Amino acid sequence: MIKQAIIPLAGLGTRLLPLTSVFAKELLPINGKPGIEYILEECIDSGIKEIIFIISQKKKIIKKYFYNDQFYKKIIKKKKDNRIISEYKKILRYKKMIKFVYQNKPLGTGDAVLKTKKYIKNKYFLMLLPDDLIIKKNCSKSMIKIHKKFNSSVMASMTVKKESVSRWGIFKFKKHLDKQNSLIDDVIEKPSIKKAPSNKAVIGRYILPKKIFTVLSKQKPGKGGEIHITDAIQSLINNNENFIAHRFSGKYLDCGTMNGYIKSTLKISKL
Ligand code: UTP
């Protein structure tokens, strides 16, 4: 049963500087709604009951977004505005589901995941990277179905342009399970074009096993001196854990760059 999701939010967001020097990119509106709310809706709609946000002191504004009760109460008292009341109700509903943990040094995605160790209850949990929006079809929901069918770890995947492989975790598959799902053989973090085993990329949705924490707690820094979740996944694959690459059918929007962010708003506004 997948009932918990984690969302790493403690990165520096250097691709969106200078904006991210003072603001959390995940709160930027995409077609009028903060990006993080699309991610929360995907979680809720896929049956997730608890969501763990990994933030840093620098990104406390994200917590404030959900904990500004006095502010709302005062305004609602003064102005009985139905829009504000329903927005506040929505925030309260989210707040009930979210726990915050801190990663104050951005040592990598693997290190961020490790911060949630003592909160994860079941054998598997979901992880969503908030820069990656997937619209039109709930990717997490489809992945949970695949997880139930094969009882294994699952990652969202997509074919990318050969020239762009160094931006992603790239994998090679062992065998196809069906039209949309394959068993992964090898995965490598941001390889050069020369070293890339394919042009199949991992996108920011993962169903991970709890045992990944044991691997992460012993893991040495990898590329760029960071602890990457991809390296922990490769160690698990080497130890015979099955990882399925799920070719999702929704539309992928990259909100981690300014160009992608602008395009995302345009795409969503046309839905
Ligand atoms: P990235 O490294 O891809 O993005 O992390 P970033 O740090 O947000 O932005 P750039 O690359 O500098 O522009 C992927 C996800 O993992 C989180 C980030 O917040 C992002 O959601 N992350 C990354 C952490 O929580 N901690 C880290 O140490 C690193």
**pLDDT tens digits along 44-57:** 999 999 999 999 99
What is the rounded radius of gyration, in angstroms, for the C-alpha atoms of the chain? 19
pLDDT reported for residue 75: 96
Residue 54 CB–ligand 1 contact under 6 Å: yes
The pLDDT-based confidence of 80 (bands split at 50, 70, 90) is confident
**C-alpha to C-alpha distance for 254 and 233, rounded to whole angstroms:** 23
pLDDT tens for 103-120 read: 999 999 999 999 999 999
In degrees to the nearest 10, what's the CA dihedral of 46, 51, 57, 58?
10
pLDDT reported for residue 49: 98
The pLDDT-based confidence of 271 (bands split at 50, 70, 90) is confident
pLDDT reported for residue 111: 98
| Mean confidence (pLDDT) of the chain | 97
pLDDT tens for 129-161 read: 999 999 999 999 999 999 999 999 999 999 999
CATH class of 4-269: alpha beta
Q: What is the mean pLDDT of residues 229-236?
A: 97
Residue 36 pLDDT > 90: yes
Residue 12 CB–ligand 1 contact under 6 Å: yes
How crowded is the C-beta side of 12, counted as CA atoms within 13 Å?
9
Closest ligand 1 atom to Cα of 256: 13
**C-alpha to C-alpha distance for 50 and 44, rounded to whole angstroms:** 9
Closest ligand 1 atom to Cα of 111: 28
The pLDDT-based confidence of 5 (bands split at 50, 70, 90) is very high
Tell me how far the alpha carbon of residue 107 lies from the centroid of ligand 1, in angstroms. 10
pLDDT reported for residue 159: 97
Residue 103 CB–ligand 1 contact under 6 Å: yes
Residue nearest to atom 21 of ligand 1 (CA): 9
Q: What is the mean pLDDT of residues 3-14?
A: 97
* Cross-strand bridge partners of residue 30: 33
Report the predicted TM-score, pTM, of the whole model to 2 decimal places: 0.97
Element (H, E) at 88: helix 82-97
Q: Report domain extents, the chain.
A: 4-269
